[in-house]
Structure 1
Amino acid sequence: MASRHPRQRNGERHRDLRHAVLIAVRRVLRWMVALLVGALASAATAQTVSPAPDRVAVTIYRAPRRAPDQAIDRAWLQGYALITEQRRVTIPAGRTTLRFEGVAAGILPESAIVTGLPHGVREKNLDADLLSPRSLYAGSFGRPVTIRRTIAKRIVEEEAILRSGPDGAAILQTRDGFIAADCAPSQDALVYNRVPPTLAAKLTLSVELDSPAAASVTVTLSYLAWGFDWQANYVATLRPDGQSADLLAWVTLASSDTTSFANAETMVVAGAVKREDSAPNPAWNVPDESLTFRCFAQPIVAAPAMVFAPPPPAPAPAPMEMDVVVTGTRLRRAMVQQEDLGDLKLYRVPDRTTVAALAQKQVALLDRAAVPVSIVYVSTVDSNGDADAPRITLRLRNRTDQGLGVPLPAGPVALFQPRGDTALLIGEGAIADKAVGEEVEAGVAEATQVTIESTNPESGKGWEAYRLTARNANPYPVRFEARFAGEDLPRMARMTETLTRKDGKAVWSVEIPANGSRSFSYRIKDRD
């Protein structure tokens, strides 16, 4: 066998060495790629979705600047609520995005607190890009859609790609070129193949977290949200003796939020809680989500078709709900339970209830029979001796021995008087927050049978004389009060009646006989 040349043997050795090196390099590269893929896979953020809370509590705070006699404005609720949700979630190991769906639309994301996670939260985000005709169109830019044309009752479908934004003409690219929707004799609609991943059917709060191991935990999510309000509503019905009344009160809950909180533990807080910001006006914050196609100069409103189920429409305002059981001639209700909350008062609804979206409901606050009351006719007199028309005023003492003795939250009062088999409305007023022991007073209507006249019979150097004459046209005596500003009392002299003090005012209090009158004269000195 002939021996090979040394140069040939060296070439073969070099080829074998290069082959071995290439094999080793390939192995190293495969190993590095596997490590890189594993690292990327481990670094990828998983997603965990919590569609709804397992338990929820709603604590509603009254609009801070709404007066007790000002009605709740359902179109602009300026109170807020503390929402506390408990959710059971399973989180994987590694970096995870935990998405809380179904939070309140009026959420203040900066107030959100998440507890119960093993290693806390890295960051939180509010995903508020909700599904609507406009956002669906805008999110489908550059994506395939189907244009559906109706021509003489015949439907023709064609694949296309969106090539324009939601404002102006809808430009689509088809196999035959570019077209504009609703610019032909046909009626056009768009059919979307899927929802863009950036859109959500529910408002979602998401948090980023790192977990060293998979775990199932109960998470508590708490946050403040605008768009809620509440008030107390009182109904007082005078008894035939005119010296007592049956007092019924409701807690009225209102929500303008588009999220419902079913079977919620519900509470309301009475008192003034200081907040620096105020409720946003819906007219300033609700974007126009309608979609209008314009065939260049001619606007045509389009209702794009969807092949997937759109989110359900917001429910209509719900009627007031009451938990009322008739037993004999009295009504028994599950009353709210009052608790102390620092200087504030918290009223807890004993049974779980649904705080429905865009709705208002009532639950019973108190029901007291034969509470001692008095009807007083009250007039205010200014520094010039002018008196305003007397007002029918309901007065009672918030004490246990007077049939009450509970903190009374602010709200309107309706006063009824029995007439035969029914009760007629006398008038409506309001009370402020009243503590136990305080006097409760509500002016409900301007009197027609009790009047007051003010005259200025004489004057002198540095003084004016006035005479007040109060008249009662009722066939029964009435209690009348004329109230003077407290700062005027030091300048008053030669008074024909003794004045008392009440809430910083000087008061002429007198009983006027049936079909009779009473007078009061005084002088008032000029200001220095």
Structure 2
Amino acid sequence: MVSSNGPETVSLTVYRALDRGEQPINKNWPQGYALITETRTVAIPAGESLLRFEGVAEGMFPESAIVTGLPKGVREKNRDARLLSPSGLVDSYLKRQVSLTRTDRATGKVRQQAAVITAGPNGGVILQTADGYEALRCTGLPERMSYGQLPQDLSAKPTLSVITHSDQPVTAKLTLTYMASGFDWQANYIAHAKPLDAGSVGKGKVDVFAWLTIANGGNQSFVNANSMAIAGEPNRERRAEQARPTGSGLSLRCWPAQRTHQVPFRPAFNPDQDFGEDNRGGVMYDSAVAVSAIDEENIIVSGSHLRAVKMAQPKAVIVAEQENLGDLKLYRIPEPVTINAKGQKQVAMIVKPDAVFDRVYSANVDNFYEDYGVSIPMSIQLRSDNKTEKGLGLPMPSGQLLLFEDSQFGPLLAGESVLADRAVGDEIDLGIGSSSDVRYSLTTIARTKARQKLKVVITNARNEPVNVEIEIPYELKGSHKHIPKIDGMPTWKATVPANGEANLHYELKLEN
């Protein structure tokens, strides 16, 4: 048997989870997958050999594994999925004898006795000794179990084993390529909106920054890995759920040895309990805690004292390089990085300062049967074209977006949105919340069996003019040249002056 403890070099190409949609990455077990390529140098003896590749990814698809560089190829492949762990040992020794060592607290005397594991490892371990049945570590005495030998079917690491043959001893440089589940990646956008351009209506610039986040849900780290991420949806057939390697600690539960009235009472957690107020009814501050936000302007927020701060822009030390892969997009991290077990790695992905966006206030009057007659906040949209002249002009993978705007108290969150996949030249439309300053109201002026006349009043309480759009998802009666159709939807556009209002009259055709 020949064992390879780990790879010399490794490349990791991560594909997004297909059905995740707008949901964040599953931290416990990411639902994407990866293509992994390793190189290993192995001394192969003459004759038939069992070659073990230790430390492969936990979610490995063994049927996808390809080994190149062997003198006469691979005769047989096996994946060792049972890992060496406390629970794995208990499971392997179920109905078998172990040695139990206990220390008396009073005398310090150590006593050993034979025991048979009758149940475990989930929910506890039940032992049968000469004294009867008992649960492990529930006697109050220090105790441990010893096992006669290491079970052959347990591995310290996830392992792929292959059987090969060589006519003579040889030192071979092997390449192992395989697919594995338990990986994912996503783009996370941070946008910093600057003040609107003077002399224009609704036009401004936004600094667009995106993180590339790669998640590894397995227990294996990838040290100095050449890492890439693939954007797009390659065709991949569904397969049966892959069994993950077993291996974890023991979760032992014991019934209290005291009488019921001696067991300490621990009240259940009350989510409505208020932990954040002092006896004065105000928010409780710990003056000993200082939180620092650092950038070139040296910003500090300490205790209950708050000073105006400037937006701390992310600094792009490493930026992923975008390449074409057929109809897909490949993002290559330009230098090796370590992606730790159960961890995430972030590097800069997109850095586009001063992208041009238009701020538009919009509403959809989809209330044919209801006449609200009340003032309703309009939605805020940031719009641009993914073109070079707009300061963008590059593929933009889907991801969550946070928009920040400066204030006298520093950068504040102004809205959240979801950016869908956008190719070069596509329109970008981000809904970032609603406005309390720009509002609309809808009233019915007249109604008959054949038609309905309505009026929309838009008020603008801001100190600058704003652009507005009203979508009417119904069939209009007569000619409304001032309400053109955009993507098949009658849409009225107007500019509402500062601290002013605008009126829209239209007529709907009713079904008899």
TM over 0.5: yes
Aligned to 1:219: 174
Over the aligned positions, Cα root-mean-square deviation in angstroms equals: 3.5
How far apart are 1:288 and its partner, in Å?
Answer: 7.5
Where structure 1 has 5 or more consecutive residues not aligned to the other structure, the ranges are: 1-46, 299-323
Aligned to 1:3: none
How far apart are 1:172 and its partner, in Å?
Answer: 5.0
- Farther off after superposition, 389-398 or 497-506: 497-506
Aligned counterpart for 2:236 among listed residues 258, 275, 279: 275
Does the alignment pair 1:475 with 2:435? no
Distance 1:142 1:220 in 2: 41
Distance 2:412 2:440 in 1: 26
Output the amino acid matched with 2:110. V
Distance 2:25 2:173 in 1: 37
1:455 partner SS = strand
Aligned to 1:206: 161
* Paired positions, count: 447
**Change in 2 beyond 3 A, CA 1:116/1:391:** farther
Distance 2:340 2:489 in 1: 45
Output the amino acid matched with 1:398. N
Matches within 5 A, 1:324-403: 331-382=315-366, 384=368, 389-403=377-391
Aligned counterpart for 2:27 among listed residues 74, 77, 81: 74
Distance 1:384 1:122 in 2: 71
Distance 1:126 1:178 in 2: 39
Distance 1:481 1:280 in 2: 48
- Give the conservation status (yes or no) of the 8 Å contact 1:394–1:443: yes
- Give the conservation status (yes or no) of the 8 Å contact 1:470–1:518: yes
- Give the conservation status (yes or no) of the 8 Å contact 2:35–2:177: yes
- Give the conservation status (yes or no) of the 8 Å contact 2:403–2:413: yes
Distance 1:405 1:78 in 2: 30
Distance 1:53 1:504 in 2: 57
Tell me the percent identity.
38
TM-score by length of 1: 0.75
Aligned to 1:53: 7
**Change in 2 beyond 3 A, CA 1:146/1:288:** closer
**Change in 2 beyond 3 A, CA 1:100/1:240:** same
Matches within 5 A, 1:219-238: 219-238=174-193
**Change in 2 beyond 3 A, CA 1:461/1:59:** same
**Change in 2 beyond 3 A, CA 1:60/1:181:** closer
Aligned to 1:196: 151
How far apart are 1:192 and its partner, in Å?
Answer: 2.9
Residues 402-445 of structure 1, C-alpha deviations (whole Å, 9 max, x = no match): 21211111111111222247322211111111111112121111
**Change in 2 beyond 3 A, CA 1:66/1:517:** farther
Aligned to 2:434: 446
Aligned to 2:211: 250
Aligned counterpart for 1:170 among listed residues 109, 127, 134: 127
- Farther off after superposition, 348-357 or 271-280: 271-280
2:186 partner SS = strand
- Give the conservation status (yes or no) of the 8 Å contact 1:496–1:520: no
TM-score by length of 2: 0.77
- Give the conservation status (yes or no) of the 8 Å contact 2:316–2:348: no
Residues 29-74 of structure 1, C-alpha deviations (whole Å, 9 max, x = no match): xxxxxxxxxxxxxxxxxx1111111111111111212224x33332
**Change in 2 beyond 3 A, CA 1:106/1:502:** farther
Residues 327-368 of structure 1, C-alpha deviations (whole Å, 9 max, x = no match): 999845221100011111111111111111111231011222
Aligned to 1:290: 250
Aligned counterpart for 1:115 among listed residues 61, 68, 93: 68
Distance 2:208 2:439 in 1: 28
How far apart are 1:281 and its partner, in Å?
Answer: 11
Residues 283-310 of structure 1, C-alpha deviations (whole Å, 9 max, x = no match): x997886365999x99xxxxxxxxxxxx
**Change in 2 beyond 3 A, CA 1:458/1:111:** farther
Aligned to 1:259: 220
Output the amino acid matched with 1:115. T
